[in-house]
Structure 1
Amino acid sequence: MTIDTNAAMPSEHTHLDAPTRQRPNITKAPSVRSPIVGAETRPVAKSDTAVTYTVGSYLAARLSQIGLKHHFAVAGDYTLVLLDQLLTNKDRKQVYCSNELNCGFSAEGYARAHGVAAAVVTFSVGALSAFDALGGAYAENLPVILVSGAPNTNDRAADHLLHHTLGTHDFMYQLEMAKKITCAAVSITFAAEAPEKIDYAIRMALREKKPAYIEIACNLAAAPCAAPGPISAVIDREPSDSESLNAAVTAAADFLRSKKKPVILIGSKLRAAGAEKEAIELADALGCSVAVMAAAKSFFPEDHPQFIGIYWGEISSPGAQSVVDWSDGVVCVGALFNDYSTVGWTAMPGGPTVLTADPNRVHLDGREFGRVHLSDFLPALARKVEKRDATMIEWACVRTEPFPEDAAKPDAKLIRAELIRQIRPLVTANATVIAETGDSWFNGMKLKLPRGARFEIEMQWGHIGWSVPAAFGYAVGAPDRRIIALIGDGAFQLTAQEVAQMIRLKLPVIIFLMNNHGCTIEVEIHDGPYNNVKNWDYAGLIKVFNAEDGQGSGLRATNGGELADAIKLALANHDGPTLIECIIDRDDCTSDLISWGHLVAKANGRPPSPQ
């Protein structure tokens, strides 16, 4: 069956929130972030039509056709037949997770590396746990396809009470919940409708760069259905509206022509737009300074001569705030402003001096241009602009070179600054740094990234513990990259089990676990006894995960010499992860975290507005 890409689906089974109705952007993404890596676009061969497809094998075929090499799963009785059906497709591996929350975050990490991901869980007790991670994928603009098993269709008709439910006859609550955190949510209760609904959900996830939800009744996974039609009906992108695009480019060029000292500010939605190369093209043409927001670190090359660092209010890179605040025109490219990224609403460009270019719209000075893809808009604008390099002249006046850092004495007590100094050489062009919510954010900002290196944080959702399963999923999706994870001890305790899955798949992830006996980010926002955690033998935990056949390494560093030795062992271990437990003082955190925490706490503590 070939699906009309503009066809609406029945309202009781599908969902697309109006505020997030964005157009697709499939092309031109960087290699580790291609939205559909290796997608198969050929028509279905004549021999394919003779194959008997089931609902499960149809889903498997489509997941392979959009380029997935893996899908993540936690088994449950409502999904067992579906998992069997997915295993019949040899183009993709089934990767198992310790629990459904970790499964969702593993898929989210995979989507960061590979462009799209899928996870399979059981009904209710599995899916509701995975919904936390699905909410994160929605907030972070990542196309994660969550597939859930569901009760037998006969039980729905017979009004039976079933396990893994709320103990009522209503089995629709999970679908209704899914509608709030996805761009498309479908429930398959008839095999004949499966192809259309599966295609719809996948198409919307790829177009919107948001998660989608597919619910399949357990007795339908092996039921026959139609064969898939050409995958182009699912992945083809609707082009920008030519008139809107031309008008937006003209207006933006006029805007920039009227400015003497513009600056470009790169935000995290640039990845969702697949327009990183195009942003470089505009920067080269305009010649102005380029700053990135914290959540967009690595989305613009840090070795580019116009890069001036991180813009993050008063905790910006040295000189970056001065340049951005001094400019008379800020071109916000894929920017996302929230209380975290604006440091408690203290650093938010606004007004007539701001041009906003989002993945599918352009806004400036009271004018709105819709259905304009960022990957089309940026190069078209680059061809229209004139050089405006005043902010580069200003940057030359205010920039400061960092002082060279001397190595600490090998037997000196380990401090955070020495830890980061030793991590820096590990960040090569082939490395991805995954920084957990907390002081790891601010430590990670101090790492200079060579071209090709990637940096991942979860600043919009901000789920503590995200990084462990995300690092696992990322490593599965990008096996040729060096994965470096910066994780605090409090966060690690939430999702530690997925280190066992790294061991299972022999993934050489390097984890720097900062053991400072608590959740330091919460301490700096608002301290209390609830920020303390029970200490673990983190290095010793790896022995538990290894059991009889694992090759993971658990090491402990209390000084610089021990840390240097541990890093050498980590680089030599190619058969599993290495966790380096770094013992540092509780109060040894960045000054940036202290400043940021104070301002965020101030924003949180504002009194209610008068009624």
Structure 2
Amino acid sequence: MATSIGSLDSCKPTNNNVGCPPQNGTASVHDSHPPSTIASSDATLGRHLARRLVEIGVQDVFSVPGDFNLTLLDHLIAEPGLKNIGCCNELNAGYAADGYARARGVGACVVTFTVGGLSVLNAIAGAYSENLPVICIVGGPNTNDYGTNRILHHTIGLADFSQELRCFQTVTCFQAVVNNLEDAHEQIDTAISTALKESKPVYISISCNLPGIPHSTFSREPIKFAISPRMTNKMGLEVAVEAAAAFLNKAVKPVMVGGPKLRVAKAHEAFVTAQDVSTMIRCEQKSIIFLINNGGYTIEVEIHDGPYNVIKNWNYTGLVDAIHNGEGNCWTTKVRTEEELTEAIATATGEKKDCLCFIEVIVHKDDTSKELLEWGSRVSSANSRLPNPQ
């Protein structure tokens, strides 16, 4: 992770190319046409940031207003290609940007200093763990307040303005504190390109008195980021697939769990196109799908049971019937006993062998493995230890 604070600690690229390549790509800069000149009234930090967001695919920015970010919001909403979505609280804004990044590839939220930044922090931490490029923009203190030992409102009552920054350093891949215009252009571009390159959130704090001030560095359209196509190592991929297949074939109870790296590798569609029931039916798959329904969070039940571990169940077989909708070959059933399960398997492998078969197996909430029961007991004992004598 890197931090850039004003002109004191700028993070500069190792060459003149500003880009956002994937992990094993290279960056380049498109400059086939001279950038057009921007009117001085629009040559501001706020408008530059807005244009950058639009350029990378952000059309909606999720925000909660506060006095430190109001001028910045004025300049963001002045950008025709950017729509401001006002949220009820900062955590909602952060999770909205998280969801937007999942759907669109990158998201952005705007909050105010400390009271807003600390509120949105949990959503940004989630985006970090899920490898989501979320641009978290915070309206920061006036540049004249830095170093004055003043205590500002909406803070925790300390004159140290770095508390929010220190919190974000652990859950973002780059942090920029923009409190002067000379290197604001570089800091913003570096932060955004790093988010795209690393597929992680970044933190950008912008002093509240800077967004509307024209500056020569914002007088031209920003040079576009360029991403080189990601090249696959075919030989390495083949070896990896063979190793994975061998590992699964040796497993007694194989289970595949998709993690956040699927999104970074742009492989989520391939992993899902395996679970998509409607596509299976359309493609005339003859798979047998078992859904084990234990009615709740069994792993939590074995640690500490309570009514909060029970979930509202769906009619899962009815859901598959709705997806089927009378088109293609599909058969569903719900079983509650061992005899019914044996009969269902016989039907799926016999009379309905030309169908996609979906079998929902209803089991008791405590019907689990010996290993999970033992693990739950150990965790329960560990969690309930009494405090040591003082």
| TM-score normalised per structure 1 | 0.43
Question: Does residue 1:174 correspond to 2:172, yes or no?
Answer: no
Within the candidate set 48, 57, 61, 2:47 is matched to 57
Within the candidate set 112, 130, 133, 1:143 is matched to 133
Within the candidate set 257, 261, 268, 2:259 is matched to 268
Deviations 1:216-255 (A, max 9, x none): 010111123423532224xx15845x8xx35633643664
CA contact (8 A) 1:105 1:133 kept: yes
Question: Does residue 1:232 correspond to 2:225, yes or no?
Answer: yes
For 1:267, the aligned partner's letter is G
Tell me the equivalent position of 2:237. Answer: 249
For 2:22, the aligned partner's letter is P
Residues 169, 8 of structure 1: CA spacing in aligned structure 2 closer, same or farther, 3 A cutoff? closer
Residues 418, 155 of structure 1: CA spacing in aligned structure 2 closer, same or farther, 3 A cutoff? closer
Residues 224, 195 of structure 1: CA spacing in aligned structure 2 closer, same or farther, 3 A cutoff? same
> Secondary structure in 1 aligned to 2:175?
strand
What percent identity do the matched residue pairs reach? 32
Once the two structures are TM-superposed, the CA of residue 72 in structure 1 deviates from its matched residue by 0.5
Residues 104, 279 of structure 1: CA spacing in aligned structure 2 closer, same or farther, 3 A cutoff? closer
Once the two structures are TM-superposed, the CA of residue 182 in structure 1 deviates from its matched residue by 1.0
Once the two structures are TM-superposed, the CA of residue 190 in structure 1 deviates from its matched residue by 1.3
Alignment of 1:292-307 (within 5 A): 303=281, 305=285
Deviations 1:260-304 (A, max 9, x none): 9377835132123212355589xxxxxxxx6xxxxxx66996657
Residues 97, 280 of structure 1: CA spacing in aligned structure 2 closer, same or farther, 3 A cutoff? closer
Residues 343, 44 of structure 1: CA spacing in aligned structure 2 closer, same or farther, 3 A cutoff? farther
Distance in 1 (alpha carbons) for counterparts of 2:315 and 2:291? 20
| TM-score normalised per structure 2 | 0.64
Distance in 2 (alpha carbons) for counterparts of 1:307 and 1:214? 49
Tell me the equivalent position of 1:24. Answer: 22
Once the two structures are TM-superposed, the CA of residue 306 in structure 1 deviates from its matched residue by 8.2
CA contact (8 A) 1:301 1:307 kept: no
Residues 219, 603 of structure 1: CA spacing in aligned structure 2 closer, same or farther, 3 A cutoff? farther
Q: CA RMSD in A?
A: 4.6
Once the two structures are TM-superposed, the CA of residue 602 in structure 1 deviates from its matched residue by 3.9
Distance in 1 (alpha carbons) for counterparts of 2:134 and 2:121? 11
Residues 88, 592 of structure 1: CA spacing in aligned structure 2 closer, same or farther, 3 A cutoff? farther
Distance in 2 (alpha carbons) for counterparts of 1:132 and 1:425? 38
Tell me the equivalent position of 1:465. Answer: none
Alignment of 1:397-412 (within 5 A): none
CA contact (8 A) 1:25 1:274 kept: no
Structure 1: runs of 5 or more not aligned: 1-6, 15-21, 28-40, 282-289, 291-296, 310-315, 319-340, 347-414, 430-588
Q: Which one has a bigger Cα radius of gyration?
A: 2
Within the candidate set 26, 36, 55, 1:48 is matched to 36
> Secondary structure in 2 aligned to 1:132?
helix
> Secondary structure in 2 aligned to 1:49?
coil
Alignment of 1:361-400 (within 5 A): none
Once the two structures are TM-superposed, the CA of residue 54 in structure 1 deviates from its matched residue by 1.1
Within the candidate set 109, 112, 127, 1:119 is matched to 109
Tell me the equivalent position of 2:56. Answer: 66
Tell me the equivalent position of 2:177. Answer: 187
Question: Does residue 1:604 correspond to 2:383, yes or no?
Answer: no
> Secondary structure in 1 aligned to 2:62?
strand
Within the candidate set 83, 86, 98, 1:108 is matched to 98
Higher relative contact order (CA 8 A, sep 6+): 2
Distance in 1 (alpha carbons) for counterparts of 2:3 and 2:155? 30
> Secondary structure in 2 aligned to 1:112?
helix
Structure 2: runs of 5 or more not aligned: 12-19, 303-310, 326-361, 384-390
Once the two structures are TM-superposed, the CA of residue 418 in structure 1 deviates from its matched residue by 6.5
Distance in 2 (alpha carbons) for counterparts of 1:161 and 1:301? 59
Within the candidate set 196, 200, 204, 1:214 is matched to 204
CA contact (8 A) 1:26 1:237 kept: no
Once the two structures are TM-superposed, the CA of residue 201 in structure 1 deviates from its matched residue by 1.6
Distance in 2 (alpha carbons) for counterparts of 1:428 and 1:197? 52
Tell me the equivalent position of 2:187. Answer: 197
Residues 173, 111 of structure 1: CA spacing in aligned structure 2 closer, same or farther, 3 A cutoff? same
CA contact (8 A) 2:45 2:212 kept: yes
For 1:49, the aligned partner's letter is T
Once the two structures are TM-superposed, the CA of residue 185 in structure 1 deviates from its matched residue by 1.5
Once the two structures are TM-superposed, the CA of residue 593 in structure 1 deviates from its matched residue by 9.1
Give the number of equivalent residue pairs: 310
Question: Does residue 1:162 correspond to 2:160, yes or no?
Answer: no
For 1:142, the aligned partner's letter is L
